[in-house]
């Protein structure tokens, strides 16, 4: 009896990924994504995030095993090392990832809803400093933050834009979110906060006509927002698979000791 998982192969359009896929295609009886138990994704981090975002709209969300045939590959596993792909997938460590759900309302009253796997960021649109009111679980925690903006990141996204903005790196499984200001002017010394994943965060834009702000959920942008509400989505939990000893958590630890 064959107990191997049903695997679907999804390949980036990049030349490097396409070249790697030529070897891979004959190595396993691949099935369609609809039939698969696990999706094997060849490419880089950007392509993996694209696949994850597409899957958020599926009726059934499936585990994803990424193989790095891109550039950074922070969310990916290493190249194929002659271990059968079925064995690598079966032995892989599972990492649950809860995306953020962003609900944004514009100054004209239009409403938009997007998911973010890395972060949701609010950014000033002009030379004028953005001024934001920060509410957490319905309570005003900061009446006015003035600066270039603010972001809220998941543990997966904490090593991306959040880290560049001097935000904290969050261990996987911490069920925490990083709330990080972007070039804050007032209060100048505020470094941000670490929130429980259950927190509901709302930003209200002060003087939105004079100081317009855009909200970005990963790569989806809504301009001229008036309010933005963000909460982690348990219903859309994703699963990333990593080789033993090469887990994302280990890479997050290593990132904190680079000099």
Structure confidence by residue, pLDDT tens digits, 142-154:
999 999 999 999 9
Catalytic residue among 4, 26, 37, 45: 45
CA dihedral 226, 123, 208, 204 (to 10 degrees): 40
Q: What is the pTM of this model?
A: 0.85
- 76 by Cβ neighbours in 10 Å (0-12 / 13-18 / 19+) ranks as buried
Structure confidence by residue, pLDDT tens digits, 205-240:
999 999 999 999 998 999 999 999 999 998 889 999
Instruction: From the options 1.10.10.10, 1.10.20.10, 2.60.200.30, 1.10.579.10, give the CATH code of 100-232.
Output: 2.60.200.30
Residue 249 pLDDT greater than 80, yes or no: no
- Say how many residues make up the chain: 259
Domain ranges for the chain: 7-98+237-255, 100-232
Residue 194 pLDDT greater than 60, yes or no: yes
Buried b (16+ CB within 10 A) or exposed e, 28-56: bebeebeebebbbbbbbbebbbbbbbebe
Please report which confidence band the pLDDT of residue 23 belongs to, taking 50, 70 and 90 as the band edges.
confident
224 in active site:
no
Whether 215 contacts 122, CB under 8 Å: yes
Structure confidence by residue, pLDDT tens digits, 48-62:
999 999 999 898 889
Distance CA(96)–CA(240), nearest Å, equals 7
SS3 per-residue string spanning 120-151? EEEEECCCCCEEEEEEECCEEEEEEEEEEEEE
Please report which confidence band the pLDDT of residue 1 belongs to, taking 50, 70 and 90 as the band edges.
very low
Q: Answer whether CATH 3.40.50.10330 is correct for domain 7-98+237-255.
A: yes
pLDDT at 150: 98
Annotated binding site for NAD(+): 45-46, 50, 118-119, 148, 156, 159-164
Distance CA(134)–CA(104), nearest Å, equals 14
């Amino acid at each position: 009896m064959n107990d191997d998982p049903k695997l679907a192969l999804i390949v980036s359009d990049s030349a490097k990924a396409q070249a790697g896929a030529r070897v891979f295609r004959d190595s396993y009886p691949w099935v369609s994504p609809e039939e698969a138990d696990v999706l094997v994704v060849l490419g880089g981090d950007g392509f993996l995030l694209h696949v994850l975002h597409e899957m958020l709209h599926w009726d059934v969300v499936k585990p994803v095993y990424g193989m790095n045939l891109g550039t950074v590959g922070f969310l990916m596993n290493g190249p194929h090392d002659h271990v059968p792909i079925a064995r690598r997938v079966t032995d892989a460590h599972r990492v649950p990832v809860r995306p953020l759900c962003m609900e944004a309302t514009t100054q004209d009253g239009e409403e938009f809803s997007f998911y973010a796997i890395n972060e949701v960021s609010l950014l000033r649109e002009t030379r004028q400093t953005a001024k934001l009111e920060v509410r957490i679980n319905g309570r005003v925690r900061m009446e006015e933050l003035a600066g270039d903006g603010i972001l809220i990141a998941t543990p997966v996204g904490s090593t991306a834009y959040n880290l560049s903005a001097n935000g904290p790196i969050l261990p996987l499984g911490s069920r925490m979110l990083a709330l990080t200001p972007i070039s804050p002017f007032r209060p100048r010394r505020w470094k941000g906060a670490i929130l429980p994943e259950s927190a509901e965060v709302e930003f209200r834009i002060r003087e939105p006509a004079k100081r317009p702000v855009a909200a970005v959920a990963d790569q989806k942008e809504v301009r001229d927002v008036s309010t933005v509400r963000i909460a982690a989505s348990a219903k859309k939990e994703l699963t990333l698979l990593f080789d033993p000893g090469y887990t994302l958590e280990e890479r997050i630890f290593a990132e904190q000791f680079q000099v």
